[in-house]
Structure 1
Amino acid sequence: MLETSARLLRLLSLLQAHREWTGADLAERLGVTARTVRRDVDRLRELGYPVNASPGTGGGYQLGAGAELPPLLLDDDEAVAVAVGLRTAAGNGVEGIGEASVRALAKLEQVLPGRLRRRVSALNEFTVPMLRGPARATVDASVLTELAAVCRDGERLRFAYRDHNGDSSRRTVEPFRLVCTERRWYLVAWDVDRADWRTFRADRIEPRPPHGPRFAPRPGPAEDLAGYVSKGVSQGAYAQQAVLRLHCAPEEAVSAVSPSDGVLEAEPGGTTLLRTGGASLDLLVIHVLMLGVEFEVLEPPELVARIGAARDLLGRATERSAPPRRADGTGAAR
């Protein structure tokens, strides 16, 4: 049996990990009696943790938003600073910490009192980030935490969704996981109406609560969920598909191709296979030229013809744009 202090920390972790627990479930997880669970809940309340209890056979315990922060964690200013930092990291898809930021933010906002939520919201609403690099499709951090919560709690999600053409539809899904790239967030979910797995861009999701009911989680669409999303958003969403051989090592290819641009596969000879897609062959030509690495086209053959046409067009433009030569042909005229 766990000592009291360790058991309290374990109980708090369980309450943070799931929206609601029955007393019997908590007692089984902690290896104690239901009476001990009630006493431990009272101790957490004395420490300032807002634990709500609902009576009856269907009742349970839930970590709620309280009137004051738990004294063992952060004071008001520290809590606001951490929440703002987490929202910034989560909303901007900072590589390596974005998903952890959403999880931490979901736990923190669960216990933030109303007065601090208003301060955090004001800071985010009236702050404009100046970011380097390519433009990102921003997503509200509150939407991310809401998506993370329904994934965690196994609740059906209802939302309005805009596709890449701007058309809107209403969706009901069983959310599975959030996947983050350096530019965007995606929700992988089972689409109830279409009876199939779908990947949704989080910045195009507008939740329509209330959520629910709860569902029994089903196995995910793939073991490599990041690869599954990468394949879907870089190929499956486009009318034209292409396979290229990049004449560079996988490490160099990774720096040129983001997960949302294509799927990479190392080859024995030190080259890298790229599977990608585009709305048209002409856009694919631009895409592969922008990679800035030597390549060859494996398929489709139509792409080779488009690249040749682009080469001829650029060659003629270069000839027309060359500076005039002097009479002796040795240099540009002054």
Structure 2
Amino acid sequence: MSQVSLTHEVVSRCLSLIPLIREHQGMTLDELSRLSRLPKEQIADELGQVLLMCGVPPYFPHDYISFSLNGDRVQIHFADHFRRPVSLNPLEALALKLACESLTPPGKPVPRAVATLLRKVEGAMSTEQRRQFKNLARRFAVRETEDLPGGITGRVALAVAERRRLLLDYVAAGRSQSREREVDPYGLLCREGHWYLVALDLSREKVIQFRLDRVRRIQVQDDRFEIPDGFRLDDYARAPTIPEGEDRARASVRFHGPSARWVRETATPGTVEEEGDGRTVIWCPVIGTDEGLARFVLGFGGDAEVLAPESLRDRVQDALRGAHAAHG
């Protein structure tokens, strides 16, 4: 068994294999390799080392998920604490439901494994909790994003999964002519109803976010690539989205109290300045209109103070006045 580098990508990949193996206990490594599109030697090495870490205190043998190979057949054995049903309160169950629905590709039904999971969560609730959950679920919905003409979103998602290079015919914001871009697609993000491709632009040797509704045509190449070990899609999901060619004016927001610490720990490096007395100033890009940034600031209530630009201050103040008028 070769030593495995336990990166975020490797751990996530192994955890995603657990339900597949659990549903098909005793499947062969060849079958698992075909379904997961991974070499069987890689599967055996990674699962054998990653699952050694999947346990809870006090870390006795029965507190871990274990992986075994009987000849060429794969089995997963859950730790004892998995034998008890998961019990979520109605708000936790609603958050899980909305998160699962938001990850479903455009135009596709909720995957069977996700539907089964949600049924089990609901089944573990008491009668009163189930009633509250259903009442909450009727009041919230994930806005479905439609696929783009030519099935661009689906084809890009497949290229991301298979790590295949793409040629994009892309129109940057503020331009009328498209340009061909050769990219290595690292991942997809959906924000405020728009899909963004996070990809390495080979001509600029830089990771850039491309808004998919500005892609006119794509061509999936045969060339394959490897994602760098240090890349984390979460970093781009957390940071403000700056699509290629967008306006890059900046806003300045001061945070106080508990929110200041959260900002210091999660903001993109180089965008934060500590002022002392627990106060923190962050510089954020203003992309197009400042409506999205205003909603972000309002979410922190009295812990956030807009310093610039004036237009953002006005928008936040207008929103506060409207809320006060509506609710007294």
Q: State the TM-score bracket (shorter-chain normalisation).
A: 0.3 to 0.5
Choose between structure 1 and 2: higher strand proportion. 2
TM-score w.r.t. the length of structure 1 is 0.43
User: Bigger radius of gyration, 1 or 2?
Assistant: 1
